[in-house]
Chain A
Amino acid sequence: MASIAITPDEVADLKGLNCPMPVLKTKKALDKIEGGKILQVDLTDAGSKSDLPAMIKRTGNELLEMTEENGVYTFYIRKKLA
């Protein structure tokens, strides 16, 4: 559980998608928002637990938190400032 509630600016529902789609769609969603804004991503692909952080790190964005509940993984990502 989040100790401090994170309020996302955008939410991407990627449940049911498998590699490589969660990474591709998360990147697309990040490209659409402004720097500093927070994107919430919900997905069910267990492989994305390590895939998504790798992409987030390589693109210079920030993973604020990842939670897991009933097979749904939720990522909170802060987009880097341009």
Chain B
Amino acid sequence: MSEEKPKRMSIIASKGALDMAYPPLILASTAAAMDVETMIFFTFYGIDVVNKKKYANLRVAPIANPAMPSPVPMPNIIGMLPGMTALGTMMMKSMMGKINWPSIPELVEICLEMDVKMVACTPTLEMTGLTQADLIEGVEVGGAADYLDFALDGNINLFV
């Protein structure tokens, strides 16, 4: 088994909402634990997941989200009200806390520790006025060709 070429997985993380930040990080860290060479390519809002100033405060919006857990069904008109995103985020974090789930910063740290290649998309950084210094230490920067070069040898390539 160890003679084989290592398996490889790439994930494009394009979303910055709390619920959408988890799947890339969970899959990537688990893949790394399974000795899979793994890359997450952060682009567009996905950059928030590795943005020092933002990654601890990702949020989830109840509006236009019929699956949002809530004690009572929440019509969109209520989801529009100020404070509802904060409330929805608080509820989701409390549910995660109940099952001892790691936070986004914890998972980012685990991924880096396990040698997941974390790459932030250069045009997105330019567009949003960010530099590598705004990102978590250990996150590299790269472009589409960097992603493709890695993904062309991928056994699993996902877009989230």
Q: Which residues of A contact B (CB under 8 A)?
A: 16-21, 23-24, 26-27, 54-55, 58-60, 80
- Nearest A residue to B2, CB-CB: A60
Complex Cα–Cα for A27 and B29 (A): 11
Find chain A residues with CB under 8 A from B81 CB. none
Find chain B residues with CB under 8 A from A18 CB. 99-101
Find chain A residues with CB under 8 A from B26 CB. 19-20
Task: Name 11 interchain pairs, CB-CB below 8 A, sorted by A.
Answer: A17-B100, A18-B101, A20-B26, A20-B29, A23-B33, A24-B114, A26-B33, A27-B114, A54-B34, A58-B35, A59-B34
Find chain B residues with CB under 8 A from A19 CB. 26
Q: CB of B30 within 8 A of chain A?
A: yes
Q: CB of B102 within 8 A of chain A?
A: yes
Please tell me the number of chain B residues within 8 Å of chain A, measured between CB atoms. Answer: 16
Number of A-B residue pairs, CB cutoff 8 Å, is 39
Separation in Å of the A19 CB from the closest CB of chain B? 8
Complex Cα–Cα for A30 and B100 (A): 22
Known contacts A60-B1, A60-B2; decide if A24 and B33 are in contact (CB<8 Å). yes
Find chain B residues with CB under 8 A from A59 CB. 33-35
Q: CB of B110 within 8 A of chain A?
A: yes
Separation in Å of the A25 CB from the closest CB of chain B? 9
Top 7 A-B pairs, shortest CB-CB distance: A27-B33, A58-B34, A60-B1, A20-B30, A20-B26, A18-B99, A59-B35
Find chain A residues with CB under 8 A from B34 CB. 23, 27, 54-55, 58-59
Complex Cα–Cα for A16 and B102 (A): 12
Residue with the greatest number of chain B CB neighbours at <10 A, chosen from A19, A24, A27 = A24
Tell me whether B1 and A21 are in contact (CB under 8 A).
no
CB-contact partner of A24 in B2, B30, B36, B100, under 8 A: B30
CB under 8 Å from chain A, chain B span 1-59: 1-2, 7, 26, 29-30, 33-36
